[in-house]
């Protein structure tokens, strides 16, 4: 379930609602460089290869900065950014993010992701980011398309997980293309479970385990229902709704 709250989450009083439109700019809110874009060759497994849209050098919006969001490529310049919701190649079938969308994460994710990336880099692998911060309004659209909380978290009166930039959807790439994990992103099948064995080869299970181990070393926990989803510290805490531009 994208945006699911991990065990142990707690609610906080609403202190701020950052209300900006995703496609335009920030409205008033109450208080509260990257290297060249690499191209990844096709994966031997046949999984669609990762591509890296141009991120440009524009800083995050004022609303994003107030929410503590930072661009992943500012501290992981070799990260591969393939935001599926910035294209029509997703389960909704339409583009949900505007042109120039960035992979934004909460600043508390910096150390953990840096640690994970360093471990994987030693093996000649890089992290591919499929989704990062997700505006609340996009979560609403997703749930309208797939109103099944087993797969898509029901939007509520608070933001958590992706909606606060404290969860990411990722995979790995090597010099030969995407690492074979057994399913594509947002595969609504039993094989998508992090520890699935039926229909998932031993090699694919080992690849998932290697990703989990690196992320765990950085303090990010795997969500059992989706092998690609990882939660950072505080991902399950209910916070004021965050709906700021991703570009």
Give the tens place of pLDDT for each residue, 97-125. 998 999 999 999 999 999 999 999 999 99
The closest alpha carbon to 214, from 128, 130, 133, 127, belongs to 127
Model confidence over 9-45: pLDDT tens digits? 333 333 333 333 333 333 333 333 333 334 343 333 3
Return the C-alpha torsion angle 97, 103, 104, 110, nearest 10. Answer: 170
Partners of 70 in the β-ladder? 105
Residue 169 has pLDDT above 70, yes or no: yes
Mean pLDDT of the chain: 82
pTM score of the predicted model: 0.78
Under 8 Å between Cβ of 83 and 53? yes
Model confidence over 42-67: pLDDT tens digits? 333 334 333 443 344 467 888 899 99
% of residues, the chain, pLDDT over 70? 77
Confidence at 232, pLDDT banded by 50, 70, 90: very high
* C-alpha span between 116 and 63 (Å, rounded): 28
Residue 200 has pLDDT above 80, yes or no: yes
pLDDT of residue 58: 60
Q: What is the 3-state secondary structure (H, E, C) of the chain?
A: CECCCCCCCCECCCCCCEEECCCCCECCCCCCCCCCCCCCCCCCCCCCCCCCCCCCCCCCCHHHHHCCEEEHHHCCCCCEECCHHHCCCCCCCCCCCCCCCCCEEEHHHHHHHHHHHHHHHCCCCEEEEEECCCCHHHHHHHHHHCCCCCCECCCCCCECHHHHCCEEEEEEEECCEECCCCCCCCCCCHHHCCCCCCCCCHHHHHHHHHHHHHHHHCCCEECCCCCCEEECCCCCCEECCEECCCC
Residue 172 has pLDDT above 70, yes or no: yes
- 106 marked among binding-site residues: no
- 162 marked among binding-site residues: yes
Can you tell me the mean pLDDT for 70-81?
A: 97
pLDDT of residue 78: 97
- 229 marked among binding-site residues: yes
Q: Which residue numbers are catalytic?
A: 226
Confidence at 150, pLDDT banded by 50, 70, 90: confident
pLDDT of residue 3: 55
pLDDT of residue 8: 34
Residue 210 has pLDDT above 70, yes or no: yes
Of how many residues is the chain composed? 247
pLDDT of residue 94: 93
Q: All domains of the chain, ordered by start, with CATH?
A: 18-32+35-243 (3.30.1380.10)
Residue 162 has pLDDT above 50, yes or no: yes
């Amino acid at each position: 379930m994208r945006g699911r709250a991990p065990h142990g989450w707690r609610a906080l009083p609403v202190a701020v609602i950052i209300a900006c439109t995703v496609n335009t700019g920030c409205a008033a809110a109450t208080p509260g460089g990257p290297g060249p874009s690499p191209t990844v060759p096709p994966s031997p497994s046949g999984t669609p290869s990762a591509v890296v849209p141009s991120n440009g050098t524009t800083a995050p919006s004022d609303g994003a900065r107030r929410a503590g969001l930072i661009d992943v490529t500012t501290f992981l310049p070799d990260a591969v950014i393939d935001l599926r919701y910035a294209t029509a190649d997703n389960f909704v079938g339409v583009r949900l993010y505007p042109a120039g969308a960035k992979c934004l994460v909460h600043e508390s994710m910096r150390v953990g992701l840096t640690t994970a990336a360093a471990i994987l880099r030693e093996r000649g692998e890089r992290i591919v980011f499929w989704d990062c911060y997700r505006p609340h309004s996009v979560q609403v659209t997703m749930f309208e398309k797939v109103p099944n909380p087993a797969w898509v978290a029901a939007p509520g009166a608070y933001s958590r997980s992706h909606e606060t930039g404290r969860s990411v959807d990722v995979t790995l790439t090597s010099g030969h293309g995407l690492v074979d994990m057994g399913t594509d992103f947002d595969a609504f099948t039993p094989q998508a479970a992090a520890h699935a064995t039926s229909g998932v080869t031993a090699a694919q299970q080992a690849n998932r385990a290697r990703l989990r181990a690196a992320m765990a070393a950085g303090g990010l926990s795997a969500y059992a229902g989706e092998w690609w989803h990882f939660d950072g510290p505080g991902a399950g805490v209910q916070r004021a709704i965050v709906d700021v531009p991703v570009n």
